[in-house]
């Protein structure tokens, strides 16, 4: 996996902490990577309520027409779904 160098500016207090960590054998790059991963996961978990809003917005933005023909088969039934596909292919020929 490729990687890129990212510079981070530190004030004197954080610089002191970083130097202490390094003196104790802590790899600062690992600290930064772990902090990024944790913050990213936190950010993603904050999406949950947003996703319900997102779904509602999508359905509001793209509503079905008043009359939408029923599907006519159970998409969760593997056999029925396959039959429906075959029917459409045969009809198209």
Q: Which stretch binds another protein (CB under 8 A): 7-15, 19-27, 31-39, 84-92?
A: 84-92
**18 near another protein, rule: CB under 8 A:** no
Rounded to the nearest 10 degrees, the angle between the axes of helix 28-45 and helix 47-61 is: 40
**Contacting residues for 81 by C-beta, under 8 A, at least 6 apart:** 73, 74, 75
**45 near another protein, rule: CB under 8 A:** yes
Instruction: Report residue 10: phi and psi, to 5°.
Output: -125, 140
Residues that bind another protein (CB under 8 A): 41, 44-45, 47-52, 54-55, 58-59, 61-65, 68, 70-71, 74-76, 78, 81-82, 84-85, 88
């Amino acid at each position: 996996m490729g990687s890129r160098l990212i510079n981070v500016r530190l004030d004197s207090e954080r610089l002191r902490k970083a130097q202490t960590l390094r003196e104790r054998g802590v790899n600062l790059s690992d600290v930064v990577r772990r902090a990024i991963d944790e913050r990213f996961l936190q950010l993603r978990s904050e999406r949950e309520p947003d996703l319900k809003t997102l779904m509602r917005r999508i359905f509001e933005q793209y509503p079905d027409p008043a009359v939408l023909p029923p599907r006519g088969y159970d998409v969760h039934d593997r056999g029925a779904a396959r039959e429906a596909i075959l029917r459409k292919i045969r009809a198209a020929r």
